[in-house]
Structure 1
Amino acid sequence: MTEHIIEEAPNKPGRKEMNPLLKFALELGPLMVFFFANSRGEDLARTFPILGELGGPLFIATALFMAAMVIALAVSWAVTRSLPIMPLVTLVVVLVFGGLTLWLQDETFIKMKPTIVNALFAAVLLGGLMFGKSFLGYVFDQAFKLDDEGWRKLTFRWGLFFVFLAILNVVVWKAADAYYGPGQVSDDLWVDFKVWATMPITIVFMLTQIPLLKRHATEPLGGKKE
């Protein structure tokens, strides 16, 4: 039986699924590592001197974030024997921009990463719709089942939301630098926003999509189809 390296299309029979809680943990875990390493960077450098050679807290956080992303994707592969598309794209961008951040000792690159990733996701989702592909189904089909029209509408809305997140990251980053000046304080504010604000904003957006999910569900949310 041929294994698919990249996850198969949503609703395809025989597609291996991951426990939703495990999937959420793998997606959130690297972010939590990033936040912890940034907030405890000096302590980590004292405990593990090799980390101190990377630079300040943000550089230590960047290195550990990259490692956590690789581990999360490896666990995903071990469980499903396939690689999820969006985390894979995120990993590639993280490795490129994280590597530049560490090599050039310039936090600009890691701060650009969320904007690049979100803009790329928006381009993939909205561009896919132009070719009749609803790529969002690859991400959420384990959480709920929708008809084709539902996936198209949800993909379009998420595409616009990713555009919003891409712009918002730049606004927060530049506003923090302008108000506090480039340095650890503005870095901490940006990291706090990335970890603690982006997720609630995303959750609020997801809650606003519940009516659409109910209208286009092929299996009623929270119950069996009658």
Structure 2
Amino acid sequence: MTEKTVAPAVKIGLELGPVFLFFLGYVTTRGQIYTIGGTEYTAFILLTAAFIPLMALATFVLWRLSGRLSKMQLVTLVMVVVFGGLTVWLNDDRFFKMKPTAIYGIFALLLGIGLLRGQSWLELVMEGALPLTHDGWMLLTKRLALMFLAMACANELVWRSFSTDMWVNFRTFGLPVALFGFFLLQARLFERYKSGTE
């Protein structure tokens, strides 16, 4: 399929839409218990069951519109299916809460392996989306690997130490805002290591 340009608002909507729909569903149904086939399920479990196909559909639509998916999008979808599936199958919300830890941990590990090999796998994944020199990509990769590791640790701390309400808010707003803030703070790096400035 030929790669096409997708409007940024549409791309963001498809990537974050399922997360916000999960949040809205949780806020309106939290604390409710549903009995299906003689088994009790919390609203969280049923929302997770709905989130899996919704995330798959959003990813499919993004692929149809753009003609491609990044490796990060594919890894995220696989983790949603695996951890979400375990959550529903075992009727245990801990697996879904562990999903961000696994995703960010895997990203940190992969970027770290690339760095140990003297490569910026982030540059390969982003396919030159940013006009950075090799040194710039290496520094950004180091920082992002540490950021992903910090986010994985923060997710573990929050889901293990606080209520489900707190975790849902943290997952919906805290983690995306932290990642957005991270990239805003890299403005000096982008300027200093812009291709053609060295």
Amino acid at match of 2:46: I
The one of 10, 14, 18 aligned to 2:6: 18
Indicate conservation of the 8 Å contact 2:100/2:155, yes or no: yes
4+ residue runs over 6 A deviation: none
Unaligned runs of 5+ in 1: 5-14, 177-185, 221-226
- Post-superposition Cα deviations, 1:78-97, rounded to whole Å, max 9, x if no partner, equal 12222211011011011011
Amino acid at match of 2:169: D
Work out the CA distance in 1 between the residues paired with 2:40 and 2:53. 14
For residue 86 of structure 2, what is the amino acid of its counterpart? L
Aligned to 1:171: 157
Q: Which blocks of at least 5 consecutive residues in structure 2 are unaligned? A: none
Structure 2: distance between partners of 1:64 and 1:91: 14
In the other structure, the counterpart of 1:10 is none
Match of 1:128 among 97, 103, 114: 114
**What's 2:172 paired with?**
195
Q: C-alpha distance in 2, partners of 1:202/1:140? A: 20
- Provide the TM-score with structure 2 as the length reference: 0.85
Q: How big is the shift at 1:23? A: 2.3
Deviation of 1:71 after TM superposition, in Å, equals 1.4
TM-score, with normalisation over the residues of structure 1?
0.76
RMSD: 2.8
Q: Tell me how far 1:127 sits from its aligned partner.
A: 1.1
Kept in 1: contact 2:15–2:59 (CA 8 A):
no
Asked if structure 1 preserves the Cα contact closer than 8 Å seen for 2:131 and 2:195, the reply is yes
The offset of 1:174, in angstroms, is: 1.6
Aligned pair count reads 194
Contact 1:38–1:57 (8 Å) recurs in 2 = yes
Match of 1:11 in 2: none
Indicate the SS of the match to 1:55. Answer: strand
Distance 1:19 1:151, change over 3 A: farther
Instruction: Give the whole-Å Cα distance in 1 for the aligned partners of 2:134 and 2:72.
Output: 20
The alpha-carbon deviation at position 145 of structure 1 amounts to: 2.2
User: Which residue of the partner structure matches residue 133 of structure 2?
Assistant: 147
Tell me the SS of whatever aligns to 2:149.
Answer: helix
Task: Give the share of equivalent positions with the same residue, in percent.
Answer: 37
Question: Is 1:205–2:182 an aligned residue pair?
Answer: yes
Equivalents in 1 of 2:108, 2:20: separation in Å? 24
Of 72, 92, 95 in structure 1, the residue corresponding to residue 78 of structure 2 is 92
Instruction: Please name the residue that 1:224 is paired with.
Output: none
Q: CA deviation at 1:45?
A: 8.9
* Helix, strand or coil at the partner of 1:83: coil
